[in-house]
């Protein structure tokens, strides 16, 4: 692989209900156009697009990485009713099996007391099925970013320690995202310093929800519907 190649590890398709609009076929066309050798599908709350994505990647000789952006109960956040995001990638067959188990738990039981219209898992469930999984700290709705944005460095470090305890140091990555959002500029620098302090690797992602700039308004419409339903 070309060392300068950027591999997308955080992509949402139309299977991220009201949170993504990308059709798998169009995604693969774009990946082929960009001569991508690998990419990950990390739909939020669901894994319905996994088979379609993987088979389409195989057909194009692209390494299709299976992932899932999960809602996890807050660990050190004050608001215990609002779940946080965490991106999980299957490293091997065991990891894929554990992704399915976590997704099933989230969609069939969830956590009592957390927000409705959202699927969730507990930390004990996450740790139970963490083998074979690679963890990325996710977007600004991830617990790590929320602590950093609030200036709570001690909680941020404790949260990273908890991730390392669950997934191992080699499988825990601090995720840096720049979508042009003002808060991300400052957040990226602080996250990078925190990763260095904890001696953890960083990974850059784009947190993709749509393919073209012209699709932005449609994406905002989806979010508006989603936020209305969750009130």
Q: What is the mean pLDDT of each run of 10 residues along the chain (231 residues)?
A: 75 84 93 96 93 97 97 91 93 98 86 54 95 97 96 97 98 95 92 97 93 69 62 48
Beta 201-205 vs 172-177: how paired, if at all?
parallel
Cα–Cα distance measured from residue 228 to residue 95, given in angstroms and rounded to the nearest whole number? 34
Q: CA angle, corner 26, sides to 210 and 85, nearest 5?
A: 40
Q: What does each C-alpha distance from 35 to 26, 48, 84 come to in angstroms?
A: 14, 25, 33
Q: Which long-range contacts (CB under 8 A, 24 or more apart) does 151-154 make?
A: 152/76, 153/194
Number of Cβ within a 10 Å radius of residue 113: 9
Instruction: Say what the pTM is.
Output: 0.90
Strand partners, 8: 39
DSSP H/E element including 38: strand 38-41
Angle at 96 between CA 211 and CA 192, to 5 degrees: 60
Phi and psi at residue 59, to the nearest 5°: -65, -30
**DSSP-derived 3-state class of residue 110:** coil
119 phi/psi in degrees, rounded to 5: -105, 140
Measured between alpha carbons, how far is 26 from 81 in angstroms, rounded to an integer? 36
108 phi/psi in degrees, rounded to 5: -115, -20
Strands 172-177 and 133-136: parallel
| The pLDDT value given to residue 171 | 98
pLDDT at residue 226, as a whole number = 62
Task: Judge contact between 147 and 162, C-beta under 8 A.
Answer: no
Q: H-helix or E-strand containing 41?
A: strand 38-41
Least Cα distance to 23 among 48, 58, 4 occurs for: 48
């Amino acid at each position: 692989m070309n060392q300068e190649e950027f591999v997308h590890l955080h992509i949402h398709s139309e299977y991220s209900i009201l949170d993504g609009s990308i059709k798998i076929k169009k995604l693969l066309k774009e990946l082929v156009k960009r001569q991508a050798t690998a990419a990950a599908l990390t739909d939020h709350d669901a894994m319905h697009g996994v088979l379609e994505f993987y088979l389409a990647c195989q057909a194009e000789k692209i390494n299709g990485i299976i992932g899932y952006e999960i809602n996890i109960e807050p660990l050190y956040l004050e608001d215990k009713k609002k779940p946080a995001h965490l991106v999980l990638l299957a490293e091997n067959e065991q990891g894929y099996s554990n992704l399915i188990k976590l997704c099933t738990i989230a969609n069939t039981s969830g956590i009592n007391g957390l927000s409705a219209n959202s699927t969730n898992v507990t930390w004990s469930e996450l740790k139970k099925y963490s083998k074979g999984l690679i963890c990325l700290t996710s977007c600004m709705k991830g617990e790590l970013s929320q602590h950093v944005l609030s200036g709570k460095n001690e909680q941020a470090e404790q949260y990273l320690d908890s991730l390392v305890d669950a997934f191992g140091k080699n499988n825990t990555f601090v995720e840096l995202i720049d979508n042009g959002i003002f808060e991300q500029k400052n957040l990226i620098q602080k996250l990078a310093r925190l990763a260095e302090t904890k001696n953890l690797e960083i990974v850059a992602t784009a947190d993709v929800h749509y393919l073209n700039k012209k699709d932005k308004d449609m994406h905002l419409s989806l979010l508006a519907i989603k936020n209305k339903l969750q009130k």
